[in-house]
Amino acid sequence: MEHALEVRNVSLRFGGVRALSEVSFAVNDGELFSIIGPNGAGKTSIVNCISGRYRPTEGQLFYRGRDITGLKPNARAPLGIGRTFQNLALFHHMSVLDNIMVGRHHLLKNNFLTGALYWLGARREELQHRRKVEEIIDFLDLQSVRKATAGTLSYGLRKRVELARAMALEPKLILLDEPMAGMNFEEKEDMARYIVDLNEEFGMTVVMIEHDMGVVMDISNRVVVLDFGRKIAEGEPAAVLADPHVKRAYLGEEDEVLTYPDDLPSNPPAAERVA
């Protein structure tokens, strides 16, 4: 099976603080892969390296066999890499429809001249992209808020709009940074279903950071665990969560049983971990 993504010995430092230390793992094409770990373990840091927001201090990143370590984020989107953010990054003054249309920007082919001749191609292209956006709106059940201003929506709906914008990129690999954070039980169920459908129906390879261990167990094919910026386990969810090193990372003891987020420790001191 072809690797959609390979992370090879990636380290990341901010001055004297080491956020990641020689992290390596591979994500298979078509896989739903989760990255878990205690708060500040380096999960968002590794996703930022994959998306191009950070450049690793050491190591390499490969997307479908191509070295993307030095590529900027805007050069990765056309390759088929999309992402959502832990902290929402929507244009709050714009409508839901327009926010999602922003995700189509790199797919536009008309230039300044053809854009000036609106009726000779630019309008046709815009309508084609709008049709794609409407399909995403239907898929994510956003019809009732399609014209609403994004900043007026509930947190759960804004999370769904951010996922819609990432889908609009038509990525082959989508990076989801805590897509269910701050949601209630019903919203989490809906989001989990959408993520599974992204993977199975749309054929997207999914790399997801998630704290809800119930969700991770239910929908992930494989899991990698980070702690203090190092990989401590990798494999199928049940085997990984039974690993004594993983139990110790979450609970501080080997003989406890790791289950759901209520068992997770509170945030550690900022000096101990790097987000």
The percent of the chain in helix, strand and coil, each rounded to the nearest 5, is 40, 25, 35
Give the separation between CA 72 and CA 70, rounded to whole angstroms.
7
Give the separation between CA 190 and CA 157, rounded to whole angstroms.
11
Contact 221, 33 (CB under 8 A): yes
Predicted TM-score of the model (pTM): 0.82
Instruction: Enumerate the β-bridge partners of residue 3.
Output: 28
Contact 85, 177 (CB under 8 A): yes
CB count, 10 Å around CB of 239? 13
Give the separation between CA 221 and CA 1, rounded to whole angstroms.
14
Contact 27, 5 (CB under 8 A): yes
For the chain, what are the domain ranges? 1-80+171-275, 94-170
180/121: higher pLDDT: 180
13-22, 155-164, 265-274: range with lowest mean pLDDT: 265-274
Tens digit of pLDDT for each residue in 102-129? 877 655 555 444 444 555 555 666 667 7
> At which residue do the structure tokens 């840091």 appear?
45
125: three-class secondary structure by DSSP: helix
Nearest to 247 by CA among 270, 219, 221, 213: 213
pLDDT at 57: 97
Averaged pLDDT, 229-241: 95
pLDDT band at 134; cut points 50, 70, 90: very high
274: three-class secondary structure by DSSP: coil
Averaged pLDDT, 175-187: 92
Provide the token pair at 172: 């082959």
Give the separation between CA 7 and CA 161, rounded to whole angstroms.
29
pLDDT band at 232; cut points 50, 70, 90: very high
Give the burial string for 117-136 (b: 16+ CB within 10 Å, else e): eeeeebeebbeebeebbeeb
1-80+171-275 to CATH, choices 3.40.50.150, 3.40.50.12280, 3.30.70.1150, 3.40.50.300: 3.40.50.300
Nearest 5°: the CA angle 129, 130, 132 is: 65
pLDDT at 104: 78
pLDDT at 1: 61
Provide the token pair at 13: 């430092």
pLDDT at 106: 59
Judged against a pLDDT cut of 50, whether residue 236 lies above it is answered with yes
Averaged pLDDT, 38-54: 94
pLDDT at 109: 56
Judged against a pLDDT cut of 90, whether residue 70 lies above it is answered with yes
Sign of the torsion angle spanned by Cα atoms 10, 16, 19, 22: positive
What secondary structure does DSSP assign to 89-145, as a single string? Answer: ---TTSBHHHHHHHTTGGG----HHHHHSGGGTHHHHHHHHHHHHHHHHHHTT-GGG
Distance between start and end Cα atoms, the chain: 32
